[in-house]
Amino acid sequence: MLFWIRATLTGGLIGASMAGGLALAAVDAVPNFNVDASCQAAAQQAPAADFMTVCRNSEQRAHDEIARQWSQLSAADKTQCVPAAKAGGHATYTELLTCLEMARDVRKLHAKRQPQPATSGQGVK
């Protein structure tokens, strides 16, 4: 799943440009995911008996971080990442947070690579 998110983002954030107003309206608030199915699936593979609790706590921390940042996140990133987090069948806040962070970082990298405007040859005094 994480590979799919990375592949989608490195190709550019094109999903947002193709999304309509309905998709934007769907990401106005932090999404409500039921993480139990994902945590149960992970707990079956985990050696720790209390992994369900560990997983739920981790998902709560990720949810809280998303909620803290939500108003500053770009609508394009939300439109791209919310469906991506749901794509595997069991949406998790950890995957959503990862996608949002990667989208932000890709944008920063692209901004750094933009050519600097040419100067007129006059030095800064």
> What is the residue-level pLDDT of the chain in tens, covering all 125 positions?
444 444 444 444 434 434 444 444 455 899 999 999 999 998 888 888 899 999 999 999 999 999 999 999 999 999 999 999 998 788 999 999 999 999 999 988 988 887 666 666 555 55
Q: How many domains does the chain have?
A: 1
Domain span at 44: 2-111
Q: Is 119 a domain residue?
A: no
Q: With 0.75 as the threshold, say if the pTM is over it.
A: no
Q: Is 120 a domain residue?
A: no
How far, rounded to the nearest angstrom, does the alpha carbon of residue 88 sit from its chain's CA centroid?
14
Q: What does each C-alpha distance from 65 to 39, 92, 111 come to in angstroms? A: 19, 13, 25
Report the distance separating Cα 40 and Cα 35, nearest Å.
9
Where do runs of H (alpha helix) occur along 27-123?
36-45, 51-69, 75-86, 93-113
Q: Is 100 a domain residue?
A: yes
